[in-house]
Amino acid sequence: MAETQQVLNSSNEGESLEPETSRSQRRRFKASNMSFEEMVEMVDILRRADYDGKYGLYLNPNVRKAKIMTKVVKSLRWNFRVRRSKEQLRKRWSDLKLREQDQYRRIKKVLLKSDVQVVVPKSSHFSSDSAQRIIQEIMFCS
């Protein structure tokens, strides 16, 4: 019993003796291929947040881009349980725009289709006549 306790203690000590990393050192994540869904999520966030500054200049572009990329990292981690570094995502974004333009076009098509929302009335009993009555009652009360 004492021998197994010593083995457990020695194995725990060996694992916890990792060197402390300073803030200047960055975490390295294993580079793996991104799934199409991950890329769609990344492109969606970057386009909605105007990562490239197509709609105007920024006062502090590096700060803004870092904040946007943080959102992408958190979203991928939350939705897909994948840990990616900002550097990996910046490189992937650049590759999509410059080298893999056909795949970027496919992603944009998917995003355009998902942006279209069909409005379906939830109740078939709701007509324009009943809407007018409700509006009149609201106006009368106020």
pLDDT tens track for 80-118: 999 999 999 999 999 999 999 999 999 999 998 876 554
DSSP 21: P
pLDDT number for residue 13: 47
Assess whether pLDDT exceeds 80 at residue 16: no
Mind listing the pLDDT tens digit for each residue in 36-50? Answer: 999 999 999 999 999
CB 26 within 8 A of CB 85: yes
Residue 54 Cα distances to 45, 47, 49, 51, angstroms: 14, 9, 10, 8
* 89 closest CA partner among 108, 70, 104, 103: 70
Query: What token pair was written down for 5?
Result: 């306790």
CB 96 within 8 A of CB 39: yes
* 74 closest CA partner among 49, 108, 111, 99: 49
